[in-house]
Amino acid sequence: MRIVLVNPRGFCAGVHMAIQVVDQLLDLVEGETVFVYHDIVHNTHVVQRFRERGVTFVEDVNDVPAGAFVVFSAHGVAPSVRDTARQRELRAIDATCPLVTKVHMEAIRYARQGYQILLIGHKDHQEIVGTFGEAPAATQIVESPDDIPSLNIVDPAKLVYLTQTTLSTDDAQVIIDALKAAFPKIKAPPSEDICYATTNRQHAVRELAPDCDLTLVVGSTTSSNSKRLTEISKNVGTDARLIDDASKLDPAWLDGVARVLVTSGASAPEDLVQELCRRLVNEFGAEIEVAELANESMEFALPKSLQDEMRTRGVDASSRRIPFGRFEVTAKTYGTVPITVSAKA
Ligand code: SF4
């Protein structure tokens, strides 16, 4: 059996930044409880590892004691959450991914210009809840083309669509085409809302899965972008499974499999991918082949509020920065690859 190990995979710049925020804050305020609003990223292992370090996750900022630190997750929050945190005098650190913030800014700007916004995405996803909250009166959520007939449109010439950052590019295009057919004058966002990491990970699966017999995606079922990777593989005819870690691998899936594509969602830690590869090598005699489809170099700075907190405490923020390491897992170095990112997270 051959493992086709995809690059790029795993952590994107936004997830790396959000994990660093909690990691750094825990070190900085040792002894104080750190609260995180919503799962910091949608991965059960990341959340559990932080729980073990004393982080308390909440779904309501009213559950955070007045004056305590609260981190907003990478998916972003609605202004009402920020307002409540301010009223309760919480010390908020915003770990929203800048690419999500970009969509928030677009929603605010178009609403101010009198546009109605058609927000393409999953209505229960935290990111959509946050973006919708920026301009609720002007925004309607579109989950599929079936939603189009029931939209309440005032002026078809004053319409814009925006999208969730982690959608399947294929599915989003189907909805965008349907919107353009229904409202030919609808405006597109100034630049693509589906982010670079989502696009790259999906493109890699679309290209490589047809030559494989099975795709294994390491990620949690709560992770939108991980789920999309399995769907894309299935769409090109290759069976796919989403697993949280190597222990969830069912050997029966490997019957008759000669090539297995291994990738991971943007919130899945690399050590879990390595653990899966190790199991495939040790128990099934697999050999690893690395498929490199894109080189990512995006990196985000720590939020200003955290940098300010560091300065107040006499800590040099730049010296605490963890570089966004790439994981060069090859057959040669396999098994000795250091986990350089979020070792503690
Ligand atoms: S998947 Fe994209 S939008 Fe989401 S956190 Fe990562 S870089 Fe940001």
The minimum-distance atom of ligand 1 relative to the CA of 100 is: 3
- Asked if residues 206 and 232 have their Cβ atoms less than 8 Å apart, the reply is yes
pLDDT at 343: 28
Q: How far is the CA of 327 from the centre of ligand 1 (A)?
A: 18
Token digits of residue 267 = 């919130």
DSSP, res 305: H
Q: What is the pLDDT of residue 338?
A: 36
How many whole angstroms separate alpha carbon 297 and alpha carbon 154?
A: 43
Q: Is the pLDDT of residue 186 over 70?
A: yes
One-letter identity of residue 202: Q
What's the total number of domains in the chain?
A: 3
Output DSSP code: residue 148. Answer: G
23 and 115 housed in the same domain: no
Structural domain ending residue among the three candidates 148, 182, 216: 182
Tell me the two tokens of residue 209: 């899965």
Task: Give me the domain span that covers residue 77.
Answer: 13-97+302-307+315-320
Tell me, using a 6 A CB cutoff, whether residue 225 lines ligand 1. yes
Q: Whose Cα sits closest to atom 5 in ligand 1?
A: 14
292 is catalytic: no
Ligand 1 centroid distance, CA of 286 (Å): 32
Domain-embedded: residue 161: yes
**pLDDT band at 320; cut points 50, 70, 90:** low
- Residue reference for tokens 């750190």: 34
Over range 145-168, report the average pLDDT. 97
Domain CATH number, residue 286: 3.40.1010.20
Residues 19-37: pLDDT tens digits?
A: 989 988 998 998 899 999 9
Distance 110 CA to ligand 1 centre (A): 22
Asked whether residue 204 falls in the same domain as residue 260, the answer is yes
Q: Which of 32, 106, 127, 134 is catalytic?
A: 127
- The reply to whether 254 falls in a domain is yes
**CB distance 74 to ligand 1 below 6 Å:** yes
Q: Which residues contact 318 (CB under 8 A, 6 or more apart)?
A: none
- 36-45, 290-299, 318-327: least confidently modelled range: 318-327
**Same domain for 270 and 208:** yes
Atom index in ligand 1 nearest the CA of residue 195 equals: 2
First to last CA, the chain: 32
Binned at pLDDT 50, 70 and 90, residue 295 comes out as confident
Q: How far apart are CA 238 and CA 254, in angstroms?
A: 13
Q: Is the Cβ atom of 15 under 6 angstroms away from ligand 1?
A: yes
Distance from Cα 16 to the centre of ligand 1, integer Å: 9
